[in-house]
Structure 1
Amino acid sequence: MSKTNPGNFFEDFQVGQVLRHATPRTVTAGDVALYTALYGSRFAVQSSDAFARALHYPQAPVDDMLVFHIVFGKTVPDISLNAVANLGYAGGRFLAPVYPGDTLSAVSEVIGVKENSNGKTGVVYVRSTGYKQDGTEVLDYVRWVMVRKRDPASPAPTPVTPVLPDAIEPDALGDACPLINSGAWDADLSGAPHRFDDYALDEKIDHVDGMTVEEAEHQLATRLYQNTAKVHFNQYTEGQGRFGRRLIYGGHVISLARALSFNGLGNAFHIAGINAGRHVAPLFAGDTVFAWSHVIEKATISGRDDVGALRLRMIATKDRPCSDFPLVDGEGRYDASVILDFDFWALIPR
């Protein structure tokens, strides 16, 4: 019997199947520093223990997307080692802060399967949950991924497509951060004066800056998250694929866009929920990422007068600045520059 793991193929997934993922990962201050080096994120709550403590955190929490990537990385060997592409996200909730020293683990449940018409691949839907060492849930989300079949001649399963929420309800967002002392929020130190009431419904914000992706940093990022998907790091296999080169991990794009969004949303300090997300087109090393955001909803949270929630549609583009807010062309298709369409809730002081 082989002692190596070839990863699961589409035929190996069944609705209701539960996968407990290896390997638990203790998050360290080194991980946080490396994440900052990769993306340059500047949100003050996650950058400064002193700033966070003034708001009543015990210390600076780990960046939400670093938590997401570590939990995501745990799932890859069981779910997407043989993926063609990760397609989208929905129903995501950040349920508790994570701090350096916490250990994260992950469990996933298969909630849907659907073979593609080509008979060579299929789409697998999973709900993944991340836990701290004491069993506290810190994150759960649904993603769907296109996975290769082991044998194209194998019969297609009965298709099951899960019903997913259009958006997380605002009152479900409060656990993302503790009750903060918003009166202690120092706009000079946070780098932005704008709070909840300063943002208007339907407002569009060009984040102005661009960031060019380098192959080395992407390789470092995928290893940081222990993401072993071949499509991201194995040029030998991907050189024989449809693009002839490795794809940049979609989560890398989310983190780049999130870091760029500081310019215009510098006080939107927590991602609290993921409503929907789609990787519209591939990104490759050498491309430059830009981003813009659209305020599509504003909400208060019951029992919370310290923070409000902005529902943001964040669009990332490659090799095109966002001063004219590119999204769709005249025929309703995504503009050729668009690589990410990400709908999420962010918490911001009131």
Structure 2
Amino acid sequence: MKTNPGRFFEDYRVGEVIRHAVPRTVSGGERALYHALYPARGALYSSDAFARASGLAASPMDDLIAFHTVFGKTVPDISLNAIANLGYAEGRWLRPVWPGDTIRSESEVIGVKENSNGKSGVVYVRTRGLNQHGEAVLEYVRWVMVRKRRDVPAPDPVVPHLQKAVAAADLVVPEGLDFTAYDFTLAGEPHRQRGYEIGEKIDHVDGVTVEEAEHMLATRLWQNTARVHFDVTAREDGRRLIYGGHVISLARALSFNGLANAQMIVALNAGAHANPCFAGDTVRAWSEVLDKAETSAPGVGALRLRLVAVKQGAAPFALKDGEGKYLPEVLLDLDYWALMPL
């Protein structure tokens, strides 16, 4: 058989390194499509002139373009037969991705644990995105619930110990980044890092209704081949599941209203796709300030944020019920570090 049905839970072995196909050269085309699909308007990723005034050679590719490109490469080997993408940890952006860079991905299996029903299991992988020079541009851990194909004995469970958050000292600031001459007018808001308080919550006000055509285009753009995003027969309810990364990018773009100066995501501490999103849902977002830190770069601070995406019917700033379970209107709970002017 020449076709590939994808991997199932019993096909993974701890310690295995999977080199994913197919390398991809990114360009201004990805940027234009990204900004068309999402209301993204961060100044550093929109303007070469703004980026040069901030110490960079030009405007790099959006941080989440890098994430989606790296993630999409892994889908045929990691999550083609996934039931759900469960979470993220220990994510770091290690160097900018520039137009013209060629990105490839590789993943190491770091954990496996069969579910009690014996029909599926959780696979943990550490993924790295590399450029054409073999330099790592991004790394993260994610864990996925994957179907079993055969009734075979479960492997010994291995559950990796993962950091709850990336330490501020381990954040990588792009070489040359300098916010001492930052233009707040061009960026869109006057708010500095020092103007945010730990515990502060920000309602980002705006909303976007997800359209079937848009999420299908986005998922194809990132070459994500998971069946649940395309094939209405892949789910019992006959609906196409929205790629979780699409929700991440929508929420991040919506957060511009209140966090316009949170220019670059540099770490992904944790994340959960709390409930499924479908076409017709209207996505809104709010953020909570979790921590603040300085960096060694001139004028550059870091803000640790919780970004929550919700759909219609959600109460303001509501996240979990009395038993600690996510409310059904909550789509995404993402914990990340971003760089912004001090």
Scaled by the length of structure 2, the TM-score of the pair is 0.98
Distance in structure 2 (CA, Å) of the matches to 1:291 and 1:320: 13
1:272 is aligned to: 266
Distance in structure 2 (CA, Å) of the matches to 1:320 and 1:100: 40
Letter in 2 for 1:89: Y
1:170 is aligned to: 168
Letter in 2 for 1:51: F
Q: Verify: 1:237 aligned to 2:237, yes or no.
A: no
1:249 is aligned to: 243
The SS at the match of 1:66 is helix
Q: Verify: 1:343 aligned to 2:341, yes or no.
A: no
Distance in structure 2 (CA, Å) of the matches to 1:37 and 1:167: 32
User: 1:275 deviation in Å?
Assistant: 0.5
Query: In the TM superposition, what are the counterparts of 1:110-189 in structure 2 within 5 Å?
Result: 110-151=109-150, 153-175=151-173, 177-189=174-186
User: 1:282 deviation in Å?
Assistant: 0.3
2:297 is aligned to: 304
2:75 is aligned to: 76
Distance in structure 2 (CA, Å) of the matches to 1:220 and 1:66: 14
1:259 is aligned to: 253
Q: 1:214 aligns with which of 208, 211, 214?
A: 211
Q: 2:223 aligns with which of 226, 233, 253?
A: 226
The SS at the match of 2:104 is strand
Aligned residues: 342
1:12 is aligned to: 11
Distance in structure 2 (CA, Å) of the matches to 1:16 and 1:321: 42
Indicate if the aligned counterparts of 1:113 and 1:159 stay in contact, CA closer than 8 A. Answer: yes
Q: Which piece of structure 1 moves more, 156-165 or 330-339?
A: 330-339
Q: Verify: 1:3 aligned to 2:2, yes or no.
A: yes
Indicate if the aligned counterparts of 1:24 and 1:103 stay in contact, CA closer than 8 A. Answer: yes
Distance in structure 2 (CA, Å) of the matches to 1:174 and 1:126: 22
Letter in 1 for 2:242: I
User: 1:57 deviation in Å?
Assistant: 1.1
Structure 1 unmatched runs, 5+: none
User: 1:334 deviation in Å?
Assistant: 1.9
Runs of 4+ in 1 over 4 A off after TM superposition: none
1:196-223 deviation per Cα after TM superposition (whole angstroms, max 9, x unaligned): 1111111100000001101101110111
The SS at the match of 1:304 is coil
Letter in 2 for 1:11: E
User: 1:335 deviation in Å?
Assistant: 2.0
Q: Which piece of structure 1 moves more, 327-336 or 2-11?
A: 327-336
Scaled by the length of structure 1, the TM-score of the pair is 0.95
Distance in structure 2 (CA, Å) of the matches to 1:91 and 1:255: 19
Indicate if the aligned counterparts of 2:209 and 2:282 stay in contact, CA closer than 8 A. Answer: yes
Q: Which piece of structure 1 moves more, 50-59 or 205-214?
A: 50-59
Indicate if the aligned counterparts of 1:271 and 1:344 stay in contact, CA closer than 8 A. Answer: yes
Letter in 2 for 1:48: S
User: 1:321 deviation in Å?
Assistant: 5.7
1:263-302 deviation per Cα after TM superposition (whole angstroms, max 9, x unaligned): 000000000100000010000000000110000111112x
2:35 is aligned to: 36
User: 1:5 deviation in Å?
Assistant: 1.0
Q: Which piece of structure 1 moves more, 334-343 or 7-16?
A: 334-343
Q: What do you get for the CA RMSD once the two structures are aligned?
A: 1.1
Distance in structure 2 (CA, Å) of the matches to 1:300 and 1:53: 22
Letter in 2 for 1:288: T
Q: 2:288 aligns with which of 294, 297, 317?
A: 294
1:65-114 deviation per Cα after TM superposition (whole angstroms, max 9, x unaligned): 11000000000011111111111100000000011100100010000001
User: 1:174 deviation in Å?
Assistant: 2.7
Indicate if the aligned counterparts of 2:25 and 2:103 stay in contact, CA closer than 8 A. Answer: yes
